[in-house]
Amino acid sequence: MALEIERKFLVDHIPAAVDGARLELEQGYLAADANGIEVRLRRSGSEFLLGVKYKVAAMSRVEVELPIGEEEFGELWPATVGARLCKTRRTLTCDDQVFYIDDYHNDLAGLVTAEIEFGSESEAEEFRPPSWLGPEITGVEAYKNRTLAQAGLPVGVTT
């Protein structure tokens, strides 16, 4: 079982030291429910994935990603109309911690978030965010990717 333990923040400003390649991601949701279960498709370059996530604890979710072929992806992609998003992902390593910085596009343009993954919930709870991170949005339904893909930016949010 692949367990994902993460915290998510809005980004006030992107540090100059962002390293790693830019990764262009497209994702679309086949199914998502109010209990946090989601089934998604993701395309990154020539890589195609079918992913399933579900919540098991406050900051922990099971995440399973299975590679699929381009043909299967193409057959399933139309089912995600109305529940898609595009973003550019970059990485930053700071104090031995890896940050995944997502810069959203299209209707979500201007939204920038950072996710940090941890080995345990206690490690996640002990994490102190650096000054370049803005408000924490871990667990905030309006900022979950599946919600952003379906509903757009939260009401009242300007980027």
Give me the catalytic one of 29, 54, 100, 143.
29
Map tokens 């979710």 to a residue. Answer: 61
Residues listed for the chain: 159
* Amino acid letter, residue 116: I
> Catalytic annotation on 29?
yes
Count Cβ neighbours within 10 Å for each residue of 136-147 and write b for 16 or more, e otherwise.
ebeeeeebbbbb
Q: Between the CA of residue 159 and those of 40, 47, 147, 156, what are the distances in Å?
A: 26, 30, 17, 10
**Catalytic positions, please?**
29
